[in-house]
Amino acid sequence: MTSARRAPRDGNAPRDSRHESHDDTRRGTGTGTHRDASGDTPRPTHRRVRAARKPLVAGLAATAALVGAWYATAGAATASTLTPTTVAVSLSAKFPYLSAGYNNTREWTRTATAVAPNGTLRVAWPASDGVHVTPLTSAGKRSGADTVVKSAKEVGGLIAHNDGFALLTRVADTNKWKETAAAIVRYTHGKQTFRTRLTGTASHDTSPTLDGQLTWNGKKYGAYFVVHGAGGFADGHFGDKLTYVGAKGAKLTGGWGWGCSHNEGIALHAETTGDFTSLCFDDWRSGLFVSTGIGAPDVAPVVQREQCWAGYCGGTFAGRTGDLVKSSTGRYATAFASRGAASARKNPDDSSGRGWTVAPRTGTHQVAVAFLKNRSSGPGKAIYLTNARTVEHVNVHVAPYGRDRLLVSWEALKNARCASGTCTGTFTGTHLRLIDWNGTFQSPDKVVSARITGDLAVQKDGTLIWAYAPVTPTYAKPLTGTSPTTTNLRIARLRP
């Protein structure tokens, strides 16, 4: 189903700043602002320009607490079992493992790990010469030389096939903004078999940053990603696009060309039939929404109201917060960094009637989980796993853990100092927590040395496996200059 075309975020007025292209490490240096619907209140621009780059000020005193009991329920796994094993993999190029987010906040550069039907693995990571895809055995050991997708920028999603892989990435393009195009690139037995561009002159769009997701149902790919209007009704505005592509690279019907306006985060789950299930963080309607099949117009079901100005949502799906997991009964779970909503109302200054104003409940982001009863309905109230108001929680993920539990992970920053929706603080570790499909704690909190810096893969026996840079992060100050690099990854495995 193709959704009705919507007006872009700022109504009929064009954006008042031009958006710079983004490189592999810093992903943009713009400093523009855009105004709310009344036209007289500047606020930070969309993430695509990394706006409001200024020192973070305003402190919060340090205390710590977690909602709920710190215990393991009877018969459930204890925290001691939540200890990943790791294997080192040497890289053939330097991997810039940090990226600058809003206000130059330090973020992990996304890696993606995917498992093929035969159990072998692929890991995608960016370097100066393109995106590298490293082949691994099912145990996480290197099994051959990298395939390098030349001149590709950003890992937007990865599908592993027995004979190769498909990558959602960005490639060079010619357009009015001099920005990249989104593309799916398929490699078979080490050779490129198709490169399908998903944006271009005919569709009046570019993709200077993807923040995307790529899924596969055995017959077709679904690619969900950010777009920048380059002509047409959405010229100069940001939205999102969902495109379906066949096994041989042909574009298929369905999806939409313009959906969630100023998308601050994307999640996509492949389905055997019908529309792929999708979520988006929208800064205009201000919150997390179900966009399945409808492109997130005004009738999109609400998952959670949030103050979603640029940077305020707590990180983008799928690389830095989120994920979307389906249960055996057809329910869905998603996790995200949340400041909650002390109040939420329609913006009276927005003549379109679409805009919302949300006052956050907390200054820092907490770990929230929401459950959807099906692919097109919003949930009840989100469940919060943390309640430490002076502790910032970043890099939130959720993954299936065995048949009936979920693994939720995050990084905690104590002594948080926050401004303009982003925080600095002292890193205290990567946290793991088990919950069931009702949100009930199934383990105490476990702090581990492994990091989670992108997409996780689930092997046939339920083992979770992912790649990460073997460094201890610091969030004490913003990232300035170029990213540090590493020539090693660690492959972590966690068996339920």
pLDDT at 147: 98
| Residue 189 vs residue 299, higher pLDDT | 189
Rounded-to-integer distance, Cα 29 and Cα 236, Å = 17
| Residue 17 vs residue 405, higher pLDDT | 405
Residue 370 CA from chain centroid, whole number: 16
Say yes or no to pLDDT of 280 above 80: yes
| Residue 381 vs residue 63, higher pLDDT | 381
Residue 400 and residue 465 in contact, taking contact as beta carbons nearer than 8 Å: no
pTM assigned to the model = 0.86
Give the pLDDT confidence of 6-37 residue by residue, as tens digits. Answer: 444 443 332 322 233 333 332 333 333 333 33
Say yes or no to pLDDT of 101 above 80: yes
| Residue 315 vs residue 455, higher pLDDT | 455
Say yes or no to pLDDT of 432 above 50: yes
- For residue 103, name the pLDDT band (cuts at 50, 70, 90): confident
Residue 440 and residue 71 in contact, taking contact as beta carbons nearer than 8 Å: no
- Work out the average pLDDT over 405-419: 96
Say yes or no to pLDDT of 444 above 70: yes
Rounded-to-integer distance, Cα 169 and Cα 424, Å = 30
The pLDDT mean for the chain works out to: 84
* Lowest mean per-residue pLDDT among 47-56, 343-352, 380-389: 47-56
pLDDT at 388: 94
- For residue 163, name the pLDDT band (cuts at 50, 70, 90): very high
pLDDT at 381: 83
| Residue 31 vs residue 161, higher pLDDT | 161
Say yes or no to pLDDT of 300 above 50: yes
Say yes or no to pLDDT of 243 above 60: yes
- For residue 319, name the pLDDT band (cuts at 50, 70, 90): low
Residue 358 and residue 306 in contact, taking contact as beta carbons nearer than 8 Å: yes
Report percent pLDDT > 70 for the chain.
Answer: 82
Rounded-to-integer distance, Cα 266 and Cα 268, Å = 7
| Residue 147 vs residue 22, higher pLDDT | 147
C-alpha distance from residue 169 to each of 14, 20, 125, 251, 314 (Å) = 27, 18, 11, 16, 23
pLDDT at 58: 29
Q: Which residues pair with 337 in a beta bridge?
A: 367
Rounded-to-integer distance, Cα 282 and Cα 260, Å = 6
| Residue 272 vs residue 419, higher pLDDT | 272
| Residue 216 vs residue 262, higher pLDDT | 216
- For residue 327, name the pLDDT band (cuts at 50, 70, 90): very high
| Residue 113 vs residue 316, higher pLDDT | 113
pLDDT at 194: 98
SS3 annotation, the chain: CCCCCCCCCCCCCCCCCCCCCCCCCCCCCCCCEEECCCCCCEEECCHHHCCCCCCCCCECCCCCCCCCCCCCCCCCCCHHHCCCEEEEEEEEEEEECEEECHHHCEEECCEEEEECCCCCEEEEEEECCEEEEEEECCCCCECCCCEEEECCEEEEEEEEECCEEEEEEEECCCCCCCCCEEEEEEEECCEEEEEEECCCCCCCEECCCCCCEEEECCCEEEEEEEEEECCHHHCCCEEEEEEEEECCCCECCCCECCCCCCEEEEEEECCCCCCCEEEEEECCCCEEEECCCCCCCCCCCEEEECCCCCCCCCCCCCCCEECEEECCCCCEEEEEEECCCCEEEECCCCCCCCCEEEECCCCCCEEEEEEECCCCCCCCCCEECCCCCCCEEEEEEEEEECCCEEEEEEEEEEEEEEECCEEEEEEEEEEEEEEECCCCECCCCEEECCCCCEECEECCCCCEEEEECCCCCCECCCCCCCCCEEEEEEEEEECC
| Residue 217 vs residue 32, higher pLDDT | 217
Rounded-to-integer distance, Cα 332 and Cα 73, Å = 23
Say yes or no to pLDDT of 224 above 60: yes
Report percent pLDDT > 90 for the chain.
Answer: 72
pLDDT at 314: 65
Give the pLDDT confidence of 458-474 residue by residue, as tens digits. Answer: 999 999 999 999 999 99
